[in-house]
Structure 1
Amino acid sequence: MDELEQDCLFCKIIRGEVPSYTIFENEDIYAFLDLSQVNPGHSLMIPKKHIVNLFDYTPNEAQKYLQYIPTIANAIKQFDSKITGMNITTNNGTSAGQVIMHSHIHFIPRFEGDGLTTATRNNEKKYTKADYQKIATQIKSNF
């Protein structure tokens, strides 16, 4: 546990200093109920190493920690036969809504007619083929 931060809420949860409702734990990750319970079963998965967000993962860390996403998603889905979908999200950085600076994945069960919406917009009319190509080319050059 030497890879944890002293004042991070999620590191405190991993160390057992702050109570939580565990749904899964192994040597790599810890998954627990989100107290906000956007929908019943809403859970978080965190690495047992302090990593700020996905931008900071090495390829090896991504393979080590993120491999559990399907396992946790399926266990949550099996908890209630009325679950028809699931939002699996992460907020990376404060401008994206990240509040706790320890990487975490949200698993939000979805039910038909639950009334939740996602904050997206369609800006397709603002872009030309040249605009799309320029953006794609610039991103591709970073690989």
Structure 2
Amino acid sequence: MTAETDACIFCDIVRGQAGSNMVYENDVVAAFMDTSPVTPGHVLVVPRQHCAYLEDVRAEVGAEMFRVAHRLARALRRSGLRCEGVNMFLADGEAAFQEVLHCHLHVFPRFDGDSFRIDADWQRVPLQQLEAPAQQLRNGLELLS
């Protein structure tokens, strides 16, 4: 164990050293109720191995996180909880409002009048204005190869 995992509440939860309402677990991920839920039924899906950010998550672990989140989203619609839609939300880094530095995927039911909001200034821009950032992203992808 490292000092990083010693201080991580999600690591404590997956090791069974902190209380939780576990919903699902396997050898790769665990899913448990969020103690600050947006709506009733709000679940977090986390890798068992400590990974602070999405970049630290191995691709196969990320795929398993999404598979489990997909199954939980389907379960929410059948659970009897109020669920007119489902959001999956992953905040990667402090600037993106990540509060616990252990990568986690939020899965929560949505319904008319709930309190969750994402406030942004969504503006349509011409395609030509998107070419420069698109090229920068393509360059970033090349650097990963």
Aligned to 1:111: 111
Q: Which residue of 2 is the match for residue 83 of structure 1? A: 83
Name the % identity: 28
The residue number in structure 2 matching 1:43 is 43
Deviation at 1:30, TM superposition (A): 0.7
Q: Who is 1:56 aligned against?
A: 56
2:29 maps to which residue? Answer: 29
Structure 2: which amino acid aligns with 1:133?
A: E
TM-score for both structures, normalised by structure 1: 0.86
Deviations 1:19-50 (A, max 9, x none): 00011111111111101121110110101110
Instruction: Give the distance between the partners of 1:28 and 1:92, measured in 2 at CA.
Output: 20
1:7-22 correspondence runs (5 A) = 7-22=7-22
What residue identity is the alignment partner of 1:7? A
Letter of the structure 2 residue corresponding to residue 73 of structure 1: A
**Cα 1:95–1:76, aligned 2, differ >3 Å: closer, same or farther?**
same
* Counterparts of 1:34 and 1:87, CA distance in 2: 14
- Are residues 34 and 131 of structure 1, via their aligned partners in 2, closer, same or farther at CA, if it must alter by over 3 Å? same
Between stretches 50-59 and 31-40, larger displacement belongs to 50-59
Alpha-carbon distance change, 61 to 82 in structure 1, aligned in 2, over 3 angstroms: closer
Which sections of structure 1, spanning at least 5 residues, go unmatched? none
Worse-matched range after superposition: 29-38 or 128-137: 128-137
TM-score (norm 2): 0.85
Structure 1 runs (4+) greater than 4 angstroms displaced: none
RMSD over equivalenced CA pairs, Å: 2.0
1:130 counterpart letter in structure 2: Q
Pair 1:74-2:74 in alignment: yes
Given residue 80 of structure 2, which amino acid in structure 1 is its aligned partner?
Answer: D
Higher share in helix: 2
